[in-house]
Structure 1
Amino acid sequence: MTANPSPLAKQDQSIQAWSWLADPATCISTNPSGPLAGLSFGVKDVLDVQSMPTRYGAHFPDALPAERDAACVALLRRAGAIVVGKTVTAEFAYAAPGPTRNPLNLDHTPGGSSSGSAAAVAAGMVDFALGTQTGGSMMRPAAFTGILGFKPSFGAVHRSGLFLLCDSLDTIGYFSRDLSVLRRVATVLQGLPEVRVPSAPRIGVLDGKDLGPITPAALAALEQGCQHLEEQGAQLERLPADPQLKELLILQGQIMGYEMARSLLPVWQASPDALRPVTVHAIKQGLDMPAADYHAWQARRRQLEQEWQDRYGHFDALLTPAAPGPAPYGLDSTGSSVLNRPWSLLGWPTLSLPAPGQNSPLPLGLQLIGQPHQDNALLDLASLLSPAAQA
């Protein structure tokens, strides 16, 4: 942090969205005529930014500045966007939360693990911010803070410069308050082709109740979203509970546990005091998982990917709640990700956006799930769902 707090640093004193802020004098666009010129952004602290330390939300007080940008950061800077700092993450993008508070109500969590990125955007500190998702690390914070969160198809954004927690799952995405900004960022990072969205898109609706308890308010928000979509000309089909959703949920947890343990083992060996007990416990559990089981899980995952494409590929999108309810009270828990993890396992693009017609003090989010590698079509569909998405 700079010695004399900037206006941004002062604004952040109560929210604590930032783990590192650049000197404002150095925040200058390298391409004032680029497609993202004039836009500022934050970077989740598991991605490298040149001249800023990467601490991963862990105890690394002496971390040296990164020598180069992550690939996504480099592309955004090349397009004229200005990076202003690193945002708080749960420790190594897993479970141990950071200090960030929800800017809409400081007594509530902003979600995790991309907590700082979502809070910085929701508080109007930056135009957009980079996050990552392994399970529900973007959809939940976006829902809890009332903004847009986009997780692209798996592999759509280059991951060089990201600390890989789970090689099979980790996906780089982005938050904004403005759908047009998300589209501009997607064009830079993904080079999305133009896609013609049907005038009456087919959308399958899953209420998610078979994955766990959903609050009445979240179910009511889903109904409001369905009504709004039908008014916009969408064709909705209410889908029965799919028993394989729970299997997808379990598989995601098993694969994540196995991969993260091996990813974090070198960190634990080199710096055992840097990690919190919940992270160390997860490493120990994951190391006990047999390799044969992991290969079987991956084989089953590939089967399910094909089965789900066969069953649901005729829809333009699926719709579910983005979270089981509003942001929980307190900062010890970042909320449940059960409604997000199946799609992270399948690698399908997802978009969290505020439900229309809300009157609650804390927002409720809806989750649109697109077809794999049809990211641009999903962003187009978002404009039908919520006036907030058309800002």
Structure 2
Amino acid sequence: MLYDPDDLDPLVRSLRTGDRQPVTLADDLCDRLNAVDDDVDAVLPETGRRDRLTREAAALSARHDEQSARPPLFGVPVGVKDIFHVDGYATRAGSSVPPAAITGEQSTAVDRLLDAGALHFGKTHTTEFAYFDPAPTRNPNDLGHTPGGSSSGSAAGVAAGEFPLALGSQTVGSVVRPAAFCGIVGFKPSYDRIPRDGVIPFSPSVDHVGTFTGDVAGARRAADVLCDGWEPVDPDGRPILGVADGAYTEQATPAGRAGVEAGVDALAAAGYEVRRVSMLDDIETINDRHDRLISAELALTHAEWFADHGDHYAPETGELIERGREVGTDELVDARVGARAFRDRVGERCREAGVDVLLSPAAPGPAPDSIDTTGDPTMNLPWTHAGTPALTVPCGRVGDLPLGLQCVSPFGTDESLLAWGEEIADVVADVGEVDS
């Protein structure tokens, strides 16, 4: 089963010009959901979804009948990871904790999308509290394989063509990894570029809000709406690309590394300058610091909920909370300071090497052959720890399973990364089968 997700950018243009109508699109996507979601299971059930969506789409069209005044995401249906609060909907966070205990005000990210003319298509499945306990969602490319996590339903829903845009979150690898596994575009901006209020926290020092789309141009459109202080840029010339070498990259499988090399070959053939950059030889230290940081903060943010409803937590989540309780205050402070220092170090290393964008595997390899795991986020961890922007684009495949090329740039360079990412994605789109 292979799907071709809709690209967001041309869809937005067609809705704004009137070539497509929001009511018709909403109806078509409900048909799509009915046709495929019994298999993929990306979206939480909702009684009367079609009637609600078509009613909201009709009201939106009536408010914006003048084409020139239509908002930037006019009529775009959006999937929302079920750790984001949405008015009128329970937030379950993939957990059996009573929804009333974890409710909250609608997230700013959702507010911004709705204010920009988007339509809330529905809540998407997540692993429990955005950790590792798997959601029921399956990979649209092969239903026996995981879609990744924790933003499982958001990634799979975009990949299956159920909606063209989705919200996710990343505390280790929960946007970039599932996007890679599902064969779509995932974007995690610099830390705190998208407000995190109204989102159930995991580790506030490193939690990020991110997006899923079928195209990089669509990710730019979404970022323009979602990110604080977004200033679109049109960079002068191509970026110099760096390939991250060393102990960090060796964490990937041969297939994961082969996907990157195939992408690098295509980019070099297209005229890009590519340099090898040795870095992150202390990756084990970074991995350990991040694990201690997020476990300690999870224990703090969930202290009251866990005290009242600990018997509702999955064993893996409860074990992480218990580990987090062992982290002392001084160690937690040191971990936070270390993460900020690492952010500066990444920027310095890029400047020393003279590179604008670092390339690496978006996941260790293709999606594992199981729905009882969400895969390994280790290739995403250092960039989440640093809070730098990260973009994954499809680049090669192993059989029917996609691979992703992860593109990272220094903190605060989000606009340039997405601008450069459009052509990078186009160049590597034709990378085919790679050796596994």
TM-score of the superposition, structure 1-length normalised?
A: 0.92
What's the CA shift string for 1:279-337, capped at 9, x where partnerless? 11111111111111111222333332223222213421110010111000111111111
Alignment partner of 1:16 is 2:41: yes
- Number of the residue aligned with 2:408: 369
CA deviation digits over 1:197-253, x for unaligned, max 9? 242311110146546542222222111111222233321111125323332222211
Q: Which has the larger helix fraction?
A: 2
Once residues 103 and 291 of structure 2 are traced to their aligned partners in structure 1, the CA distance between those partners, rounded to angstroms, is 31
Q: Report SS of the residue matched to 1:366.
A: strand
Q: Return 243-252 or 134-143, whichever deviates more.
A: 243-252
Aligned to 2:387: 347
SS at match of 2:294: helix
**Residue in structure 1 matched with residue 208 of structure 2 by the alignment:** 171
Unaligned runs of 5+ in 2: 1-29, 65-69, 431-436
- For 1:287, the aligned partner's letter is R
Deviation digits for residues 72-110 of structure 1, max 9, x if unmatched?
111101111111111011100011111111111110000
Does the aligned pair in 1 maintain the 2:177–2:363 contact within 8 Å? Answer: yes
AA partner of residue 346 (structure 1):
A
Shift of the 388–181 alpha-carbon distance from structure 1 to 2, 3 Å rule, reads farther
**Matches of 1:359 and 1:53, distance apart in 2:** 38
CA contact (8 A) 2:395 2:428 kept: no
The two structures, once aligned, show a CA RMSD in angstroms of 2.2
Change (3 A) 1:241 1:156: closer
- Aligned-partner SS, 1:14: helix
C-alpha deviation, 1:47, in angstroms: 0.4
Alpha-carbon shift at residue 175 of structure 1 (Å): 0.1
Q: Say if 1:77 and 1:370 are closer, same or farther in 2 by CA, change over 3 A.
A: same
Single out whichever of 35-44 and 289-298 deviates more from structure 2: 289-298
Equivalent position SS for 1:48: coil
2:18: which partner in 1? Answer: none
Give distance in 1, aligned partners of 2:51 and 2:427: 33
Structure 1 equivalent of residue 269 of structure 2 = 231
CA contact (8 A) 1:208 1:320 kept: no
Tell me if 1:319 matches 2:359: yes
Deviates more, 1:337-346 or 1:243-252: 243-252
> Which has the larger displacement, 266-275 or 209-218?
209-218
Residue equivalent to 2:15: none
SS in 1 for 2:123: strand
- Match 1:180 to one of 208, 217, 220: 217
Match of 1:247 among 264, 268, 285: 285
Shift of 1:351: 0.5
Q: Find 1:98's aligned residue among 116, 127, 135.
A: 135
* Secondary structure at the counterpart of residue 12 of structure 1: helix
- Distance in 2, Cα, partners of 1:66 & 1:280: 20
The residue type paired with residue 375 of structure 1 is D
Give the number of equivalent residue pairs: 385
8 Å Cα contact 1:229/1:384 also seen in 2: no
Give the one of 334, 345, 358 matched to 2:374: 334
What is residue 237 of structure 2 aligned with on the other side? 199
Query: Residues 340 and 67 (structure 1 numbering): CA distance in 2 closer, same or farther, change over 3 Å?
Result: closer
Superposition TM-score, scaled by structure 2 size? 0.83
What is the alpha-carbon distance in structure 2 between the residues aligned to residue 168 and residue 65 of structure 1?
20
Please give the alpha-carbon distance, in whole angstroms, between the structure 1 residues aligned to 2:338 and 2:272: 33
- Contact 1:51 1:68 (C-alpha < 8 Å) held by counterparts: no
Moved more, 240-249 or 322-331: 240-249
The yes-or-no answer on 1:306 pairing with 2:344 is yes
Give 1:67 shift. 7.0
In structure 1, what is the Cα distance between the partners aligned to 2:163 and 2:369?
Answer: 25
